[in-house]
Amino acid sequence: MESELGLIEQSFNRRYSLWVQEALSELPDSFTITDPCLSGHPIVFASKGFLKMLGYSKSEVIGRNGRVFQGPGTCRRSVMEIREAIREERAIQINLLNYRKDGTPFWMLFHMCPVFNKEDGRVTHFVGVQIPISRKPRRSGRNGVNLCEEGSRMNDIFYGSCRKEVCSDSLVELGRVLSLESALDDADDRGLEIEESCEASDVEKTRAATAINNILSVLTHYSELTGRLVCGKRCSLSGVGLLSSSLNISLGRIKQSFVLTDPHLPDIPIVYASDAFFKLTGYDRHEVLGRNCRFLRGVDTDSSMIYRIKESIQNEKACTVRILNYRKDKSSFWNLLHISPVRNASGKIAYFVGVQMEEGCKNQVGHGLSPEMRQLSAVGAVRIAVRSLSMGAGPSKS
């Protein structure tokens, strides 16, 4: 767990100067910053305003995906719209029902935007601002009852009690539930009306946009101090091949050690590496992406194995070799390496995947399967992720 939190902290602190967290903490708004390149797309920074609004501590939030703040009353359609925005790497502003730590629901305006690497156009992080929506009487239901307020009371009973689990006054809660039984006769239609009635005002939308601009201004300033510049708009598409945030997130679910290389770029650089690869080799993400895999070789690496790898890539075929590789600390290990082409939905090769497995290591994912089956399983998962993306709106490799 500590090593995972270390990777999470590195993903944020490495790009900006040490003072960035202090500067962000001085901003009054409620917001989070997430990293789509890490497994699970976790939160890497949470503001004091966010922690106070939801009732969580920093340690309970960092490393978790934002979906943990959703609940049974959260509109699935809204969640899908957010996911689509992540996949398309664009900004979105949407009303959303979320839940505090104590289980109480509340409406908020969620404004999210990507942060781009100024040099190569990659998405480095997503910033999400949460503005509580002020409840105003907008639409009335039966007997003049405001639907937004009534919906809130219903959510407090049903969804809040679910989050709190069984409590001592459950009988009292049950009585309140029964008293609203008639109001639930048209629950499906009412739910849509409640959702529509709790809309953000123009003032709240402006406040969210201003908060985003302030956060991006801080991130831009403190990235200049490290030379790893970021910006709010994609400034460049040059350099290392871009992977969409959606593909990054899908690949992050694969637990084996592997890298993805792009044969359409000069020197076939690594465009993705799994967390397990960093753990195996001792390298950090910024030391790997954009480089050819040859940095894993050493003085005793068999040149005949290198030739077999080159030949398989040239012939666009899979191969498996046993090759001596070296970690960052110069220690060597025998790598059972499987390389395979990955084709997009149109059948053209988009990438090559290389799955690494340390010979004799017992701490491998997929106990009960042979090394060959574990490697083929990883290759299959990569292929599914790539083809699923290329069948959608994402660009296909030619």
Domain residue limits, the chain = 2-133+199-231, 142-195, 245-391
Query: 343: which strand partners?
Result: 349
Q: What is the pLDDT of residues 281-336, one digit of tens each?
A: 999 887 888 889 999 998 899 999 999 999 999 999 999 999 999 999 999 999 99
The structural architecture, per CATH, of the domain 2-133+199-231 is 2-Layer Sandwich (3.30)
Weakest-pLDDT range from 50-64, 107-121, 150-164, 217-231: 150-164
Q: How far apart are CA 10 and CA 283, in angstroms?
A: 12
User: Which letter does DSSP use for residue 331 in this model?
Assistant: -
The predicted structure's pLDDT at residue 145 = 45
Q: pTM (2 decimals)?
A: 0.59
Provide the strand spans (E) within 60-203: 92-99, 105-117, 123-132
The predicted structure's pLDDT at residue 136 = 57
Half-sphere exposure of 169 (CA within 13 A, CB side): 8
Q: What is the pLDDT of residues 180-207, one digit of tens each?
A: 444 433 434 334 334 445 788 999 999 9
Half-sphere exposure of 244 (CA within 13 A, CB side): 22
Does 3.30.450.20 match the CATH number of domain 245-391?
A: yes
Weakest-pLDDT range from 179-188, 334-343, 362-371: 179-188
Nearest to 338 by CA among 352, 325, 358, 321: 321
Nearest to 198 by CA among 244, 149, 241: 149
The predicted structure's pLDDT at residue 121 = 77
Q: Which helix (H) or strand (E) holds 334?
A: strand 332-343
The predicted structure's pLDDT at residue 247 = 86
